[in-house]
Chains A and B, each alone.
Chain A
């Protein structure tokens, strides 16, 4: 009987990572096989796309890349750096699946250019845990089963981490009765309003809210 779960075969992730390796080789001009890279590039595209060098600091690592200026931060992460945790949902800032933290603040990585983030401290879902120790928000999502298919989850988690920081800083929201109040109580209504930039098509919202409530209380 054929083994259906072949752990040694190629997975979607290894295929993606293989593609990334090829892309990096082409982009950085390292010869592929015996053929000079410029020949390869010329064959692939008659008018070479201009690229620019940039250095990005991602999950406490400095990475040098050479990218087309059009590359969004999300595409840089997923297609060029092998960090496929951040997800592409709508690619228009409407779903939140691509949420990452830049200098501790949550943003949509699909709606910003990689080139605009040189010198910034970028944290993706891959950078939240301390070794095997999950970030408290990650642990809360596991404990509360805050997902079904999981596609929106990295964005939900990064967004929640950023949101909890905003709430700790006393930022009001549309759900706050008095915007001038110095502190905020994270009621479920507050959590839902503050997380409205993250869509879950499985509608795991009750458990997402519960996980974030737990993480807020624990902090």
Chain B
């Protein structure tokens, strides 16, 4: 691990300023991803600003009837919050499908959003990776790419975002509140928060240097039954091959509205807007779910090892939609 200096931030403003002051500084909270990457010298900050004890660890009701989740709320506390479990069950399910009990006790809400890909070539410093070293090339493109993206990828990078939590938050139209070094704040819809790789896969979010996540706000829970379904190589403690978060509102035997987000398929949580549009007003039938899934994966591109993800994502979506209406 490269040597660094460490300070504990006294306030959100001070933390943002401390990181903004130095291009080689980083925030640290749970550290479960950052320290792992620092041990491998993939991340090499010379200064760490510890934000884990900032008073951003509450989950509060909002005036609009939603919840405001502090950036420092631990994944385990968020998953166990009774309001989240009853009003946003898909978020609890997604959190509980990710990582291990030990890691969820440490990992923060903001850190979960900012965690980096687990692409094996990103982790292997002997292999080229445009995300780790811009311009170096991508070893995954022709390599072992079972875990990689089928949507929104570029020739520069086919890595996926590993979060389960973010997929559920995408389906729930979460908003991310940030604070900048000058104290100014802004709110970013989760769909605009992560960037697709394009030619710059090393730039993963729209955050500026020193801009810190303060909270994630969930709007009023949308009507309909919520289901999070994750498919992975082993039953527990593994990243998604494909996951689907779905909320389906039924009216008689028709779908009133649907919201669908996919994980494990792209560099960001992938909202299936075309499938949602097709399902609004359609019959709540397997035929309609199949058509919607086909539309959601329209334009998907496999790279050999991950070709299976395209049919798997379609089946997982159909299954998840059916589960949501069955229990609605």
Which A residues contact B (CB, under 8 angstroms)? 49-50, 52, 68-70, 72, 91-93, 96, 99, 105-108, 111-113, 115-116, 159, 162-163, 166, 169-174, 176, 179-180, 192-198
Contacts and interface: CB of A to CB of B under 8 A. Distances in A.
A193 B86 CA distance: 22
20 contacts: A52-B6, A70-B1, A91-B39, A92-B39, A106-B101, A107-B106, A108-B103, A111-B31, A111-B35, A111-B106, A113-B28, A113-B31, A115-B50, A172-B96, A176-B96, A179-B93, A195-B101, A197-B99, A197-B101, A197-B102
Contacts of A173: 96
A96 B85 CA distance: 27
A108 B102 contact: yes
Most chain B CB inside 10 Å of its own CB: which residue of A92, A107, A162, A193: A107
B102 A96 contact: yes
A193 B236 contact: yes
Contact of B102 (A72, A93, A170, A172): A93
Contacts of A194: 101
B227 to A, nearest CB: 11
Contacts of B50: 115-116
A115 B36 contact: no
A215 B146 CA distance: 40
Contact of A180 (B4, B31, B32, B86): B86
Contact of A179 (B32, B96, B105): B96
A196 B32 contact: no
A27 B79 CA distance: 42
B158 interface: no
B101 A159 contact: yes
Given A116-B50, A169-B80, A180-B86, A111 B92 contact: no
Nearest to B236: A196
Contacts of B316: none
Most chain B CB inside 10 Å of its own CB: which residue of A49, A52, A92, A170: A92
A187 B279 CA distance: 38
B78 to A, nearest CB: 11
B126 interface: no
B142 interface: no
Interface in B80-122: 80, 82, 85-86, 89, 92-93, 96-97, 99-103, 105-106
Interface residues of B, number: 36
A52 B36 CA distance: 22
Nearest to A70: B1
Contacts of A171: 76, 79-80
Contact of A197 (B4, B103, B235): B103
A170 B99 CA distance: 19
A68 B6 CA distance: 10
Closest 6 CB pairs of A and B: A197-B100, A196-B236, A69-B6, A196-B237, A171-B80, A179-B92
Contact of A112 (B31, B76, B97, B101): B31
Nearest to A96: B102
Given A69-B5, A166-B76, A111 B32 contact: yes
Contacts of B99: 197
B103 A172 contact: no
Most chain A CB inside 10 Å of its own CB: which residue of B4, B52, B86, B103: B103
B240 to A, nearest CB: 12
A166 B101 contact: yes
B35 to A, nearest CB: 5
Interface in B5-40: 5-6, 28, 30-32, 35-36, 39
Given A69-B3, A112-B32, A179-B93, 11 more contacts: A106-B105, A107-B105, A108-B32, A113-B48, A115-B6, A171-B80, A172-B80, A172-B96, A174-B96, A174-B236, A197-B237
Nearest to A155: B102
A180 B101 CA distance: 18
A96 B89 CA distance: 28
Contacts of B32: 93, 108, 111-112
Contact of A70 (B3, B86, B93): B3
Most chain A CB inside 10 Å of its own CB: which residue of B32, B35, B99: B35
Nearest to B32: A111
A179 B89 contact: yes
Given A174-B96, A179-B89, A196-B236, A69 B79 contact: no
Contacts of A50: 3, 5
Most chain B CB inside 10 Å of its own CB: which residue of A72, A96, A174: A174
Interface string B44-67: 000010101000000000000000
Contacts of A72: 35
A162 B82 CA distance: 20
Most chain B CB inside 10 Å of its own CB: which residue of A99, A105, A111, A176: A111
Contacts of A52: 6
